[in-house]
């Protein structure tokens, strides 16, 4: 997602949660760490699962394969660790600390399911927090300015804006983590934020414990009454790696319920890109004015030339059937839309994200309603 120019100007601050008075979800405590790998430096934030602590950070901070990472917390403790996960496309990485680490790491993984159901507009206000070594902090207010299925595009709400050194910092919406800062466009001051629900999809399963008490049997995912193997894998991954239950054989009498998923519709869609329309509107209002305004208008034209006219994706309807041990059968329908800029859709990623979101939403509700009890 980022080219060589991004690496040349690598952002060095990638603290994922903030200290002091920033708005944090209930139970979350700030435990940022500083990291060094060869000539790269940055920060991250550790989350614990059981006895394992993994630091979430930006990949460009720890992009060298096989090179050890020096990790230090704010108390001065320091350990040597290894990168355990990296995703260049999303500029995301995990660094797992050694088992004997003395660094503070007690924070559990936050819930980000609210993000998919939240509709943002230009009145939506986000906050990031910039921290200094002397304990001082600065609140940065940002407003919604567009985005994609994976990112939020934010604009400064006042004269205090995100800097390159704020890369990786958590951006909050109404006190909940909405994403991490990835890059800033110097010409427009627009801030690109990787959504936290996307981060959760990529690495969240590594921080959740499986509910081994809830044993479920999975019939599979079907389309037109034909079982689709890779779609079944997506559902199994959501259930087991996501910590929602352990999968047992369909003949296992300890299974609390049997689950079947059916994809009813998988419809390609192609819609006008609202970001393209916004840029066109900005260009119309430019006019011939002063040199600075002309520079901004030229920047809008440049962005417009690189912005696709349309977004493509899929509309999907799924049906979940859950049969309890007593034979009672429950069903629930769920609809989802996946959109991505341009005319080419990454089919594999679309299938995974749309199906996991659609089935996950329905199954979570059914579990909550006791359909598997």
Residue 162: closest CA among 316, 14, 321, 364: 14
Domain that holds residue 284: 274-307
Tell me if 104 is assigned to some domain: no
pLDDT of residue 242: 67
- Is 103 contained in some domain? no
Of 90, 109, 91, whose CA–CA distance to 42 is shortest?
91
User: Average pLDDT for residues 291-318, to the nearest whole number?
Assistant: 78
- For residues 185 and 215, state if they share a domain: no
Q: Are residues 288 and 357 in the same domain?
A: no
Note whether 228 and 197 are same-domain residues: no
What does the pLDDT read at residue 291? 52
pLDDT tens readout for residues 337-355: 877 755 555 677 777 778 8
Segment 112-125 shows an average pLDDT of 90
Whether this prediction's pTM lies above 0.75 is answered by no
Number of domains in the chain: 4
Q: Which of 191, 208, 285, 192 is nearest to 244 (CA)?
A: 208
Largest CA distance in the chain: 77
Of 201, 227, 250, the one marking the end of a domain is 201
Angle of the 274-284 helix axis to the 291-306 helix axis, nearest 10: 150
Residues 153 and 240 in one domain: no
Which tens digit of pLDDT belongs to each residue from 139-153? Answer: 899 999 999 888 999
């Amino acid at each position: 997602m980022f080219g060589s120019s991004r690496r040349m100007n690598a952002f060095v601050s990638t603290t994922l949660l903030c200290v002091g008075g920033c708005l944090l979800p209930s139970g979350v405590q700030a435990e940022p760490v500083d990291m060094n790998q060869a000539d790269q430096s940055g920060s991250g934030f550790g989350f614990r699962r059981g006895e394992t602590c993994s630091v979430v950070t930006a990949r460009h901070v720890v992009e060298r394969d096989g090179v050890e990472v020096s990790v230090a917390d704010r108390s001065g403790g320091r350990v040597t660790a290894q990168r355990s996960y990296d995703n260049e496309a999303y500029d995301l990485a995990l660094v797992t600390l050694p088992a004997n680490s003395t660094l503070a790491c007690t924070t559990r993984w936050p819930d980000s399911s609210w993000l998919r159901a939240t509709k943002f507009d230009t009145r939506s206000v986000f906050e990031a927090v910039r921290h200094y070594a002397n304990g001082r902090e600065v609140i940065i207010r940002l407003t919604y300015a567009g985005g994609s299925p994976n990112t939020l595009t934010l604009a400064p709400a006042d004269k205090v804006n995100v800097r390159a050194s704020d890369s990786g910092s958590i951006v909050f919406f109404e006190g909940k983590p909405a994403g991490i800062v990835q890059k800033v466009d110097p010409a427009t001051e627009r801030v690109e934020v990787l959504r936290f629900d996307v981060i959760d999809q990529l690495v969240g399963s590594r921080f959740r414990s499986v509910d081994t008490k809830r044993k479920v049997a999975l019939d599979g995912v079907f389309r037109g009454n034909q079982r689709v193997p890779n779609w079944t894998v997506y559902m199994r991954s959501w259930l087991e790696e996501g910590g929602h239950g352990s999968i047992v054989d369909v003949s296992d009498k300890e299974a609390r319920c049997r689950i079947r998923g059916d994809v009813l519709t998988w419809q390609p869609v192609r819609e006008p890109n609202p970001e393209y329309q916004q840029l066109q509107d900005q260009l119309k209002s430019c006019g011939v004015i002063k040199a600075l305004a002309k520079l901004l208008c030229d920047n809008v034209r440049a962005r417009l030339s690189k912005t696709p006219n349309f977004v493509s994706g899929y509309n999907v309807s799924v049906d979940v059937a859950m049969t309890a041990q007593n034979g009672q059968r429950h069903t629930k329908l769920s609809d989802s839309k996946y959109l991505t800029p341009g005319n080419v859709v990454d089919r594999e990623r679309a299938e995974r994200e749309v199906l996991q979101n659609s089935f996950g939403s329905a199954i979570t509700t059914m579990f909550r309603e006791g359909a598997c009890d």
